[in-house]
Structure 1
Amino acid sequence: MNRFQFLSLTFQATWLGSLAVTHAYPAFKPVPQKQGDPDLDQLLPQLLKDWKTPAVSVAIIKDGKMSWNKAFGVRDTTTNEKVDVDTTFEAASISKTVFAYAVMKLCEKKIMNLDTPLATYYPELFAKGDARLQVITARQVLSHQSGLTEWRQSPSPTFQSDPTKEFNYSGEGYYLLQTVLTHLVGKAFTQPCETFESDYPVCATDFADYMQRTILDPFGMTSSSYLWSEKLARNHASAHDVQAKSFVKKHQQAVDMARYGSAGGLLTTAKDYAKFLISLFEGKDNDPYRLNSSSLQEMLRPQIKLRDDQKVDECNAWALGWGIRDLPAGRVVIHSGGQSGFKSLAIASIDKRSGFVALTNGDNGGHVIYRLADALGYPYS
């Protein structure tokens, strides 16, 4: 799977708007650009113009600190209100890395175990349907080895392969793991409830509050949230199609986050997400929120090698929540994201304590952020 196909994967859910899975973007054509020290003040506005993308927000990390943070373009092409570094975007699938961190912390606290079947913690959730549900573990989910499809295609979860047999990117696995996490340390409510894929019913939980309390607030991600609010509405980027025409999406609420929060529910800024990326560079012992060195090492350790026909973002392997890619300059962890109207990318070199995150509010945003990656020395061409 090439990077544009991956960026086109999206949730088929009402809160995300019109969401049939889209086709791959046109073939990527590299643009000549000096790598390592580009003039981003010129490059990024030009890329936005070339690819009909309304806005991009970027944060660059060097030597373990955020060294550059700017935003270009407009929040909405209808109003032409400009973005700034505090404008929030839908993070899409780079939300998965934040959830993976939360799961690793629960394992560190011995509330969960990476290799214990999830059915052990919540038997009722896995009591019906395919018998293979009984053996799925957190490790399999976070490394996309559960065998589950991207999202269920029937009232019960469906499988593409047996667990541990091969890499199959699955948002459904994240939902099941999120539901187990909520069962162990959160709260589930009896209302409001909605039906999602295949008329599957889901009721609201406190997942968003849990992530706010254990990740966003402790990491200083002050502009980030999983729930829509009046505060967020004051400076949030609108979704846009490939012609840079804005469209309205449902404002995400607790019931939506009970289904999709872990897989793609984070609303954030590049600056906030960079704070999370920096946390990957060094573990902290005896910290109530941050992972210790051993947990970090395990999270970022390759779990499965990817065949050429399985590759996402040209990754060689997948760790727990992150893709792994070996570049000429060294190994990086990487995750991209794409859902209706938004595209995103996060890359970090653990050894060099460097990386970047880019968020866009257009369906063409993948063209912008991958050319940016090329320019910054993380080649995709």
Structure 2
Amino acid sequence: MNVLSRSRKRAHPRAPWRTALWLMALSMTFPAWADCGDCAAIVRRFVAEEGFNGVVLVGRGSHVDYSAGFGVADAATDRALTADTPFESGSISKWIAAIVVMRLVQQGQLALDEPISTYLPDYRRDNGDKLTLRNLMTHASGLPNDMDDAIKRDPATRTLSIDQAEAVRRFASGDLRFEPGTEWDYSHSNWLLVKAIVERTTGRDYASLVDGYIVRPLAMRHSGTFSGPSLAVPGMAHGYRKLTPQAEPLDKPSPNFMMLAGGFYASANDLFTLANGLFSGKVLSPESMRILMTVERPAQHYALGGRTKTLSFGGKEHPVAWEYGSNGGFRMLVWRTIDDGHTVILMNNTSFDHMKIGGLATALMEASYR
């Protein structure tokens, strides 16, 4: 769906000390489930030391052990963050796209290793006869990242209103940089082709597939797809470069033709619902899940649209579905241990250091085993 930007109130300045007290006060106003004994202390210390503005959720299986919001979704109105506040998910959108593709594979409508010329006969034949969906979805296609290059040359590319075929022609039809399957190169242009294939094969727009296969069946209440500026989504968190000493908005629109690369939004509660539904077999068959989570590019831990890593928690190694996303001021991290269902979800809207987010996730995952 196309969305239109809304007018915004100018954020009022705050002294740093006042902002710190303000964030602490807001964090105290929302209930935090605390079955994870150490989680609250870990998070509150992190918020105090690092100025984290976001949402934290820790759970096991279908049970939320700890959940809390810290700070604001909108600095101009002091609207607080909660576990139901939607955030842009950035590249987690690619994992959502991979789930949709695997549903279509499961139904026999697509095949991962079929030349994409099968689905897009009008696409340049020399590339189309070599490329497969598996190549595209594992960033092993050799297709140059013309999409990102175009945005760097002209940021207004993000506001283009063109159909998928024209987007593919402009940004996903370059000469291959290497033989498909032989190397790895993270290219958003891959996902323009995946969207074109999915929509042409099904005769449906991608947004309706996400809604029909994922959002409605799992009763996700604050999730879906967007195009253009995300602030037209009801309740959406604003993105910021920083909040102190004065809020600096940082929003990067996502055009419809890039929806698979970064056009999904969700709340922390909904992402937890998604993790439970996906790993309990409510979305994909066991064989489709095995394919979705199997690492294709070992050096990058990359599977189909996301990563699977082995990490050590609670004195034991665990396979972990590991997804990170960012766009503008948004940062999002989701970890789910595949063997026993421990989950950590972190969401931030102030351009926070992703390495520090990873450190917090590690501490919370370890705490969930105590």
Instruction: Report TM bin, short chain.
Output: 0.7 to 0.9
Indicate which of 140, 151, 155 corresponds to 1:145.
140
Residues 77 and 246 of structure 1 are in contact (CA less than 8 Å); yes or no, is this contact kept in structure 2? no
Amino acid at match of 2:67: N
Q: Secondary structure at the match of 2:91?
A: helix
**Match status 1:113 vs 2:130:** no
Residues 325 and 334 of structure 1 are in contact (CA less than 8 Å); yes or no, is this contact kept in structure 2? yes
Residues 52 and 243 of structure 1 are in contact (CA less than 8 Å); yes or no, is this contact kept in structure 2? no
After TM superposition, the structure 1 = structure 2 runs for residues 78-93 of structure 1, keeping only pairs within 5 Å, are 78-93=76-91
Deviation at 1:168, TM superposition (A): 1.5
**Match status 1:161 vs 2:178:** yes
Deviation at 1:85, TM superposition (A): 1.7
After TM superposition, the structure 1 = structure 2 runs for residues 31-42 of structure 1, keeping only pairs within 5 Å, are 39-42=38-41
Q: Secondary structure at the match of 1:296?
A: helix
Deviation track 1:275-313 (CA, whole Å, cap 9, x = no partner) reads 1112332335xxxxx21111111111122211xxxx4xx
Deviation track 1:319-340 (CA, whole Å, cap 9, x = no partner) reads 1222121223222121111111
Deviation at 1:181, TM superposition (A): 0.2
Deviation track 1:116-157 (CA, whole Å, cap 9, x = no partner) reads 112211111x227xx334321111122221122344347353
Question: How many Å separate the matches in 1 of 2:202 and 2:51?
Answer: 43
Q: Which residue of 1 aligns with 2:346?
A: 358
Q: Which residue of 2 aligns with 1:10?
A: none
Query: Tell me, which stretches of 5 or more residues in structure 2 are unaligned?
Result: 6-34, 151-169
Residues 93 and 336 of structure 1 are in contact (CA less than 8 Å); yes or no, is this contact kept in structure 2? yes
Indicate which of 307, 312, 315 corresponds to 1:323.
307
TM-score, normalising length from structure 2? 0.74
Question: How many Å separate the matches in 1 of 2:330 and 2:320?
Answer: 23
Residues 222 and 270 of structure 2 are in contact (CA less than 8 Å); yes or no, is this contact kept in structure 1? yes
Deviation at 1:377, TM superposition (A): 3.5
Question: How many Å separate the matches in 1 of 2:70 and 2:278?
Answer: 27
Question: How many Å separate the matches in 2 of 1:93 and 1:42?
Answer: 30
Cα pair distance change 1:250/1:177, threshold 3 Å: same
**Match status 1:294 vs 2:287:** yes
Q: Secondary structure at the match of 2:186?
A: coil
Deviation track 1:324-371 (CA, whole Å, cap 9, x = no partner) reads 212232221211111111011111111112222211101115255212
Question: How many Å separate the matches in 2 of 1:218 and 1:183?
Answer: 23
Question: How many Å separate the matches in 2 of 1:248 and 1:271?
Answer: 24
Residues 238 and 246 of structure 1 are in contact (CA less than 8 Å); yes or no, is this contact kept in structure 2? no
Cα pair distance change 1:85/1:295, threshold 3 Å: same
Cα pair distance change 1:52/1:133, threshold 3 Å: farther
Indicate which of 248, 251, 275 corresponds to 1:249.
251
Question: How many Å separate the matches in 2 of 1:85 and 1:232?
Answer: 19
Deviation track 1:191-234 (CA, whole Å, cap 9, x = no partner) reads xxxxxxxxxxxxxxx32233122211111111112137999654
Give the paired residue count.
306
Amino acid at match of 1:82: A
Amino acid at match of 2:281: G
Question: How many Å separate the matches in 2 of 1:272 and 1:300?
Answer: 20
After TM superposition, the structure 1 = structure 2 runs for residues 1-381 of structure 1, keeping only pairs within 5 Å, are 39-53=38-52, 55-124=53-122, 126-127=123-124, 131-152=126-147, 153=149, 155-157=170-172, 158=174, 159-187=176-204, 206-227=205-226, 233-242=233-242, 245-247=247-249, 249=251, 256-257=255-256, 259-283=257-281, 290-306=283-299, 311=300, 317-328=301-312, 329-377=317-365
Q: Secondary structure at the match of 1:139?
A: helix
Question: How many Å separate the matches in 2 of 1:135 and 1:367?
Answer: 37
Amino acid at match of 2:182: K
Cα pair distance change 1:230/1:319, threshold 3 Å: closer
Structure exhibiting the larger radius of gyration computed from Cα positions: 2
Q: Secondary structure at the match of 1:376?
A: helix
Question: How many Å separate the matches in 2 of 1:230 and 1:122?
Answer: 30
Question: How many Å separate the matches in 1 of 2:48 and 2:128?
Answer: 47
Residues 74 and 80 of structure 1 are in contact (CA less than 8 Å); yes or no, is this contact kept in structure 2? yes
Cα pair distance change 1:147/1:378, threshold 3 Å: farther
Q: Which residue of 2 aligns with 1:24?
A: none
Residues 322 and 334 of structure 2 are in contact (CA less than 8 Å); yes or no, is this contact kept in structure 1? yes
Residues 224 and 272 of structure 1 are in contact (CA less than 8 Å); yes or no, is this contact kept in structure 2? yes
Deviation at 1:163, TM superposition (A): 0.9
Cα pair distance change 1:101/1:57, threshold 3 Å: same
Amino acid at match of 2:134: R
Question: How many Å separate the matches in 1 of 2:59 and 2:365?
Answer: 13
Deviation at 1:238, TM superposition (A): 0.5
Amino acid at match of 1:217: R
